[in-house]
Amino acid sequence: MLLAPTPLDQKLVEGEQVRFRPEERSTKLPQTGGCQCRQICYEIAQEPQLVYTCHCLDCQRLTSSAFSLGAVVPEMEFRLTGVEPRQLQRSGDSGRVNTRVVCAESGSWVCGMPRDGVIHVKGGTLDDMSWLRPTKHIWVRRKQPWVKFPRAMNSSKDSLRDRAVSFLASLRSPTQR
């Protein structure tokens, strides 16, 4: 069943700056998801710290799309269940080796391995993706020419690594800095 675009969808397409009220941002928790064959499932107990799209060539090839959608969640708030996933290692555009967790049966890319206390979950594996709203685009220098961003959208020509380090540092209490 196809749903008609909402006024919010239209604002995002037209590039208007969208401000969410707190009740529009909140998500029913826990959120669940998994691979296509459901042999691997997961539960997220906390809202993502960041929702982003990645336009790197690796993500384009691995998702068979123009970009991938990711949600950054605290490692302690993510629980993976089911069969033992397969781990694929690839060098990204940055040269950094990334380990992807995929289902050995369906080949679905579910998430990355924990790093720096967070896990990058693939947005398309959530059972309900309707609440995801990307707030960041990365590797935009690799984006397809037809991809256009809303004016208010943050973007980065490169990866999240440097920004993630500073973001994680900002989450620490002043006594931990």
Q: DSSP character for 25?
A: H
Query: Which residues have a Cβ under 8 Å from the Cβ of 130 and sit 6 or more positions away?
Result: none
pLDDT (tens digit per residue) in 135-152? 888 888 888 889 887 765
Architecture of domain 27-170 in CATH?
Answer: Alpha-Beta Complex (3.90)
pTM of the model: 0.69
- Average pLDDT for the chain: 77
Whether residue 175 is predicted with pLDDT greater than 80 in this model: the reply is no
Q: What is the per-residue pLDDT for 81?
A: 95
Whether residue 3 is predicted with pLDDT greater than 50 in this model: the reply is no
Q: What is the per-residue pLDDT for 143?
A: 87
Q: What is the per-residue pLDDT for 157?
A: 62
Give the whole-angstrom CA distance, residue 67 versus residue 13.
16
